[in-house]
Amino acid sequence: MTAPAEASPQQSPKPGLNIAPYKTDVHPVWCPGCGDFGVLTCIYRMLATKQISPEQTVIVSGIGCSSRLPAYVNAYGFHTVHGRVLPVATGVKSANPKLEVLAVGGDGDAYSIGAGHIPHAARRNIDVCYIVMDNEVYGLTKGQGSATAPVELVKGTTPFGQLDEPLNPIAMAIAYNISFVARGYSGKPKELTELIIQGVEHNGFALVEVLSPCTTFHDTYKPISQRIRFIEPSHDPTDRLAAMKLAFEKDTIPLGLIYKSERSSFHERIQMTLDRAAKKGAGNVEKTLDSFK
């Protein structure tokens, strides 16, 4: 079981960038070489680059190996239940829009048990950056195939191969009109950090799909490394058809910002509602009681 050097947890951050304030002393439960170490470091770098204070940050997660991440970041965290990352994050951000809200989790959380919440987070355009660490398997239950597993994958619950075809998260995200859709790779932390920064800065729902291999149950470092390519700068992310074309690319795995559209975000629309209601006069319990006379 070997992992490329760039995925190791010991990698040193960009010189001059102080990520120490964002670290906790909790030791990650992840296996050596797990892609999630790389993603965690990218999140530290994003926070350090943007100088977001720990108390203004909330990281919401679901259940799974990658969902343990909030405990490893010095920030407010909410480790919830399987599949409910997005509605919980929606509640956090809507109740206090001043907070920087990140959602994190794995492919099981995002594309299986919680997949029903994705179109609605997209419709609302919640101002949350959702980082999905996709390893194509359920790591915490010892490696069964997930919704993104290839058909030929033989695992404990699928000894004769998968019965289901893998879904295409990027195509799904573009179809749902998620307003920021990007793909990164835990083995390319510099570029991934940049994507996460853009996702956080984006006003609206940002999905950062991260290829984050599981070295224990489904080590995909080699095939991924052979197939990735960075999207050419000429790509126009506001061109939805061009984005969809990238989503369906078969021979290579395009990395980078794939699709982007600028729309008002959920909390902005909530604020508009509040402003409209305020014109009718501030709420007053005594007055409301009297309206029932």
Which residues sit at the interface with other proteins, rule CB under 8 A? Answer: 26, 54-58, 60, 70-71, 74-81, 84, 86-96, 98-99, 116-117, 119-120, 270, 273-274, 276-278, 280-283, 285-286, 288-290, 292-293
Output the smallest distance, CB 80 to other proteins, in A: 6
Of the two residues 102 and 228, which places its CB atom closer to other proteins in the complex?
A: 102
Q: Exposed e or buried b for every residue in 262-282, given b needs 16+ CB within 10 A?
A: eeebbbeeeeeeeeeeeeeee
Of the two residues 99 and 257, which places its CB atom closer to other proteins in the complex?
A: 99
Of the two residues 79 and 218, which places its CB atom closer to other proteins in the complex?
A: 79
Of the two residues 1 and 282, which places its CB atom closer to other proteins in the complex?
A: 282
Output the smallest distance, CB 44 to other proteins, in A: 15
Output the smallest distance, CB 1 to other proteins, in A: 25
Output the smallest distance, CB 36 to other proteins, in A: 16
Output the smallest distance, CB 54 to other proteins, in A: 5
Of the two residues 13 and 119, which places its CB atom closer to other proteins in the complex?
A: 119
Cα-based distances in Å from 91 to 38, 45, 63, 219: 28, 26, 18, 36
CB of 131 within 8 A of CB of 66? Answer: no
Output the smallest distance, CB 292 to other proteins, in A: 4
Of the two residues 92 and 253, which places its CB atom closer to other proteins in the complex?
A: 92
